[in-house]
Amino acid sequence: MTRKSILKICVFLISIIILNILVNADFDGELSVDFFNVGKADCSLIKFKDKNILIDAGDIIEKGIREYNVVDYLNNKNIKKINLVIITHPHRDHIGQMRNVIENFEIESIIVSKFKEGVNYDFKIYESVLKTANSKKIDIKYVTNGDKFEFENLKINILGPCYEYNNINNASIVCTLEYGEIKFLFTGDVLKQSEKDILSKYKEDLESTVFKVPHHGSEISCFPEFLYRVNPKYSVISVGTNIRNYPSADVLKYLKNINSQVLRTDIHGTITFFTNGKDLKITTEFYPEYVGSNNDIKITAEAGIIPKTAILSAKKLASESNNGVFKIGNLDKPEEIEHIDIYDIKLLDSNNNFISNFEKDVQIWLPVRDYMNLSDLKAVFISDEEDEYFNGEIKEYEDKKYFVFNTLHLSEFGIVDTLTSQEKSNKETTNKLYLILILSIVFILGFVLFIKNKKNNPKI
């Protein structure tokens, strides 16, 4: 057997090995980061190999109001031991369930920030947390900017607080989580003053792949230059139903201006990132759904971000004036949704042609829950023009409540590149099939050359 023949056989065997890896390997990454859906509160879990890190622990459980259970979340993730707990600051929507966590899991150490005496914070809850931690002899460390923690090649860098502040939110621990080429920035409830101080010290080190938006998207956070320096590809807002209208329309606009894709726990549910230090995969609890169509027109939310039960079909409502009224949701039994955030609405005709101009006004009806008010809904519809929003009103139809808005021109709100879980799976499968096809062609060519060579050299 010639060297050339041996080489061909080696290429064939290597191809089979690569093919097996491509077909059977699923990318989950060595690092996962969960942003749990805990309403207007914060709780994140970082899993790296056999290490677990928890950042904050949501708000106090109140039956019928707040029933997000952090202990249940952690149990569902098969967590037994937490190596590091980060308490960003002592407000109840960040430490409300921390005592329960300490009582139910083995914890190695807790880090907290220093703050000035006399500042307002949830003293009783915080003291209860510290007392419980001390009773279990858990190591508690006070940190400040410049402190570092490492778990093998996973690095945590503390950027803030830079000083002791009069506002407890500014005393939030701000930290980066770095693994390979991927960086997360966690911010607690930090306000603009602390953002500016961090900016002055770490201007060149802020750029991150994933940004946990501070203070649930409040307008008193998110200093524009700070966001510009962070320049995140993805921005996560941990938020739920609230009286303060979080996230702020201004913050959403700022994030749009820097082309950051926004993911929200009130819309997507729990958001999980997986990475191997280079590639990034995202899964969410809820996914976009195809809208459907009627005989003449359909409404699509291509590249939109919508809960999976948000829209089942688009139906035309009969009207004497025939002014083009369309409802998103089933006409007889509309699907109710808590929130909807569409970055790209398009109206398509029956031939799937994009309609950009209308001779008549078009009215869109979005079914919403009874307790939602107008201010909850208006902020999520942001047009391409700065400071221009789709003004709408609450209407009822057949005992159902809708958010209704009119516009003569519907266009892109801002393209995003999120894929649904199924779309991601399809894309990965397609990529694998392409590779399989290429390797198969290489193998066939190699085999043909091998046979040809054997015929020409019968002694081989």
Per-residue pLDDT of the chain in tens (460 residues, 90 and over written 9): 565 665 666 566 566 555 555 544 445 568 999 999 998 899 999 999 999 999 999 999 877 666 789 999 999 999 999 999 999 999 999 999 999 999 999 999 999 998 888 888 999 999 999 999 999 999 999 999 999 999 999 999 999 999 989 899 999 999 999 999 999 999 999 999 999 999 999 999 999 999 999 999 999 999 999 999 999 999 999 998 777 788 998 999 999 999 998 888 887 889 999 999 988 888 887 643 322 222 233 333 332 333 222 222 222 222 222 333 333 333 233 333 333 333 333 344 434 444 443 333 445 555 555 555 555 444 334 333 333 344 566 677 656 666 665 543 333 322 222 333 344 455 566 666 777 778 778 778 777 777 777 666 665 5
pLDDT attached to residue 338: 34
341/362 Cα distance (integer angstroms)? 19
Q: Please provide residue 131's backbone torsions phi and psi, each rounded to the nearest 5 degrees.
A: -65, -45
CATH 3.60.15.10 residue ranges of the chain are 31-278
pLDDT attached to residue 370: 56
pLDDT attached to residue 359: 38
pLDDT attached to residue 242: 75
Closest-CA residue to 97 (of 121, 132, 147): 132
> How are beta strands 400-407 and 261-264 bridged, if at all?
unpaired
367/320 Cα distance (integer angstroms)? 22
Beta-bridged to residue 111, according to DSSP, are 86, 141
CA atoms within 13 A on the CB side of 306: 27
| Token code pair at residue 93 | 């929507």
pLDDT attached to residue 286: 66
CATH no., domain 31-278: 3.60.15.10
pLDDT attached to residue 339: 34
Strand order in the sheet with 392-397: 314-316, 325-328, 362-367, 400-407, 392-397
pLDDT attached to residue 391: 53
195/187 Cα distance (integer angstroms)? 9
| Token code pair at residue 275 | 């990475």
Closest-CA residue to 413 (of 433, 442, 390, 443): 390
Closest-CA residue to 55 (of 198, 204, 209, 236): 236
3 state SS for the chain: CCHHHHHHHHHHHHHHHHHHHHHHCCCCCCEEEEECCCCCCCCEEEEECCEEEEECCCCCCECCCECCCHHHHHHHCCCCEEEEEECCCCCHHHHCCHHHHHHHCEEEEEEEECCCCCCCCCHHHHHHHHHHHHHCCCEEEEECCCCEEEECCEEEEEEECCCCCCCHHHHCCEEEEEECCEEEEECCCCCHHHHHHHHHHHHHHCCCCEEECHHHHCCCCCCHHHHHHHCCCEEEECCCCCCCCCCCHHHHHHHHHCCCEEEEHHHHCCEEEEECCCCEEEEECCCCCCCCECCCEEEECCCCECCCCCCCCEEECCCCCCCCEEEECCCCCCCCCCCCECCECEEEECCCCEECCCCCCEEEEEECCCCCCHHHHHCCCECCCCCCECCEEEEEECCEEEEEEEECCCCECCCCCCCCHHHHHHHHHHHHHHHHHHHHHHHHHHHHHHHHHHHHCCCC
pLDDT attached to residue 244: 78
Beta-bridged to residue 263, according to DSSP, are 236
Q: Are 344 and 415 in contact (CB under 8 A)?
A: yes
Residue 361's identity, in one-letter code, is D
Cβ neighbours of 164 (radius 10 Å): 14
Closest-CA residue to 53 (of 79, 19, 71): 79
